[in-house]
Amino acid sequence: MALLKNFAEKAENYLAAAHSSPVFPTRDALATLQTLYEPLPDNPTSDEEILDLLSEKGSPGTVKSTGGRYFGFVNGASLPAAMLAKLMATVWDQNAGLYLMSPVAAMLEEISSAWLIDLLGFPKQTAVGFVTGATMANFTALAAARHRLLEKMGWNVEAKGLFQAPEITVICGEEVHVSILKALNLIGFGRERIIRVPVDDQGRIIAGKIPDTDGPTIICLQAGNVNSGAFDPIGEICRHKKDQVWVHVDGAFGLWAGASPRTRDLVQGIELADSWATDAHKWLNVPYDTGLVFVKDAAALFSAVASSAAYLPEMNKRDPFQFVPEMSREARGIPVWAALKSLGRKGLSELIDAGCAHARRFADGLRTAGHQVLNEVVLNQVLVSFGDGATTLEVIRKIQEEGICWCGGTVWQGQTAMRISISSWATTTKDVDLSLASILRAAEQVRTASKNKRP
Ligand SMILES: *Cc1c(COP(=O)(O)O)cnc(C)c1O
């Protein structure tokens, strides 16, 4: 089909250029995007023209996070196999809700689930759901926790709701990710009744400061702080937990530390928790959007999210919709399967090791140039300060403007900082060196400019 050949050629050209193009769209590219605004056309547009419009006007307006020099937020790229699998799934246009609507989607989910449980060392009976991202994974796991803890108190929350239900104590660290707060408010726990536990200088929860509770309690822990990459002492906390306590771990990117022997110590004891959330679209380098929720107590997950109706036959097969809040949805297991199959255990551990090595290389280069690295670089995250807040923000602005790489800002324990997050399989040592040079150049320019300003 000429149209698909045309598409393939455009896709190849895009990917070939993505590694060397400005990481963020130029002003011209943004102006071109503006020309797409128009009233809904009365008449049809041809498929060729749609493809041309996307290619000519859309492509320059993308952020080149599929390349190797995007270090903003925690955004993975796409492994070629995962990207192709996703395209194939799109060609197939499968509804992954039910086995009956897509055996291939159901089976590849089932296969990937077993691989992931094995890889991450979780208990065999753990249920795995394929959701849009870690936010939904956190939400789903917490709904399962809510079910089980209240069920133990004789309360069926799915039937009766939360009004008049026994109280559940919710404990999080001061450095909890916002997505956990969102999930907690969506499931009716409210943000203000959460007990916030102090953290140390890396953002790790201080285990000794977790209050001893008697009733049903959820403790939300973190594997990989979004700024510092630090890990809560998950194993230590789980080993002392009581029966009425459910420990949930948000490991949006940090959970993958368990996939490499070099970083596995960071997640030591993590299998003792009750549920875990991670993203496949971050460090596993699966295209958007795919998150994964793992719940040890599979029955609790099903009670929280599963549903039945006369027209939905029970097949004694994996029906993907029973594991997640959605019903109809895309076949997220297909690119996950492809990513794991293409990497293998070895390739994945090398991907994780490379990200960590690149982070250390950034940190060493920054320190050597006299800049202050604010975190212990234990994983793929680096936090750097270039002086006072205004100076650091100005350096970030210059780096983004140059377009060699892209880094964003944050406030880390009261101090303005720049974040560097290495999450792309495509990043090479050369990318790190080019980016480091750009960062140091920006810092030097800002320093010179401020010196010249002084009388
Ligand atoms: C990115 C992130 C999330 C949210 O993940 P989404 O995929 O954006 O929903 C949650 N927790 C942590 C620690 C993260 O880094």
String of DSSP letters for 118-148: HHHT--TT-EEEEESSHHHHHHHHHHHHHHH
Phi, psi (degrees; rounded to nearest 5) at 75: -115, 115
Residues 48 and 89 in one domain: no
- CATH number for the domain harbouring residue 136: 3.40.640.10
Instruction: Identify whether 401 is part of a domain.
Output: no
Q: What total of structural domains would you count in the chain?
A: 2
Residue 74 Cβ contacting ligand 1 at under 6 Å: yes
Best probe residue, ligand 1, of 65, 73, 179, 180 (max atoms within 8 Å of C-beta):
179
CA distance 183 to 132: 14
Residue nearest to atom 1 of ligand 1 (CA): 252
Residue 453: predicted pLDDT:
81
Rounded to the nearest angstrom, the gap between the alpha carbon of residue 156 and the centroid of all alpha carbons in its chain is 32
Q: Confirm if 97 and 320 have CB atoms less than 8 A apart.
A: yes
Residues 28 and 152 in one domain: no
Q: Which two structure tokens, joined as six digits, stand for 178?
A: 């916002």
**Confidence bin at 307 (pLDDT 50/70/90):** confident
Residues 182 and 92 in one domain: yes
Residues 54 and 90 in one domain: no
Residue nearest to atom 14 of ligand 1 (CA): 252
Residue 253 Cβ contacting ligand 1 at under 6 Å: yes
Could you tell me the distance, in angstroms and rounded to a whole number, from the CA of residue 4 to the centre of ligand 1? 34
Nearest residue to 287 via CA among 145, 83, 33, 109:
83
Best probe residue, ligand 1, of 175, 279, 283 (max atoms within 8 Å of C-beta):
279
Residues 162 and 258 in one domain: yes
Residue 312: predicted pLDDT:
80
Rounded to the nearest angstrom, the gap between the alpha carbon of residue 154 and the centroid of all alpha carbons in its chain is 35
* H or E stretch covering 417: strand 415-421
Exposed (0-12), middle (13-18) or buried (19+): which is 434, by Cβ within 10 Å? middle
CA distance 198 to 210: 9
Could you tell me the distance, in angstroms and rounded to a whole number, from the CA of residue 249 to the centre of ligand 1? 12
CA distance 71 to 68: 8
Residue nearest to atom 12 of ligand 1 (CA): 252
Residue nearest to atom 11 of ligand 1 (CA): 252
Instruction: Identify whether 305 is part of a domain.
Output: yes
Domain boundary among 292, 317, 339: 339
Instruction: Identify whether 229 is part of a domain.
Output: yes
- Tens digit of each residue's pLDDT (9 = 90 or more) over 54-79: 999 999 999 999 999 999 999 999 99
Residues 34 and 152 in one domain: no
Residue 186: predicted pLDDT:
96
Amino acid at residue number 242: K
Residue 134 Cβ contacting ligand 1 at under 6 Å: yes
CA distance 259 to 122: 12
Residue 310: predicted pLDDT:
84
Could you tell me the distance, in angstroms and rounded to a whole number, from the CA of residue 102 to the centre of ligand 1? 29
Task: Identify the domain containing residue 167 by its residue range.
Answer: 84-339
Instruction: Identify whether 182 is part of a domain.
Output: yes
Distance, first Cα to last Cα, the chain: 69
Residues 279 and 212 in one domain: yes
**Confidence bin at 455 (pLDDT 50/70/90):** low
Residue 176 Cβ contacting ligand 1 at under 6 Å: no
Residues 108 and 135 in one domain: yes
Domain boundary among 313, 339, 365: 339
Instruction: Identify whether 424 is part of a domain.
Output: no
- Nearest-Å Rg of the Cα atoms of the chain is 23
Instruction: Identify whether 199 is part of a domain.
Output: yes
- Tens digit of each residue's pLDDT (9 = 90 or more) over 67-118: 999 999 999 999 999 999 999 999 999 999 999 999 999 999 999 999 999 9
Domain boundary among 339, 369, 398: 339
Residues 222 and 146 in one domain: yes
- Across the range 225-231, mean pLDDT stands at 98
- Tens digit of each residue's pLDDT (9 = 90 or more) over 249-260: 999 999 999 999
* pLDDT of 276 above 90: yes
Instruction: Identify whether 432 is part of a domain.
Output: no
Q: If you search the block for the tokens 């010249």, which residue do you land on?
A: 452
* pLDDT of 454 above 80: no
**Confidence bin at 284 (pLDDT 50/70/90):** very high
| Ligand 1, atom nearest to 289 Cα | 7
Could you tell me the distance, in angstroms and rounded to a whole number, from the CA of residue 31 to the centre of ligand 1? 31
Residues 44 and 192 in one domain: no
The SS3 assignment for 231 reads strand
Residues 54 and 88 in one domain: no
Compute how many other C-beta atoms are within 10 angstroms of the C-beta atom of residue 52. Answer: 15
Residues 64 and 93 in one domain: no
* pLDDT of 315 above 80: no
Share of the chain above pLDDT 70, in %: 100
- Tens digit of each residue's pLDDT (9 = 90 or more) over 402-426: 999 999 999 999 999 999 999 999 9
Average pLDDT of the chain, as a whole number: 96
Instruction: Identify whether 55 is part of a domain.
Output: yes
Share of the chain above pLDDT 90, in %: 95
- Tens digit of each residue's pLDDT (9 = 90 or more) over 153-202: 999 999 999 999 999 999 999 999 999 999 999 999 998 899 999 999 99
- Tens digit of each residue's pLDDT (9 = 90 or more) over 319-376: 999 999 999 999 999 999 999 999 999 999 999 999 999 999 999 999 999 999 999 9
CA distance 205 to 176: 9
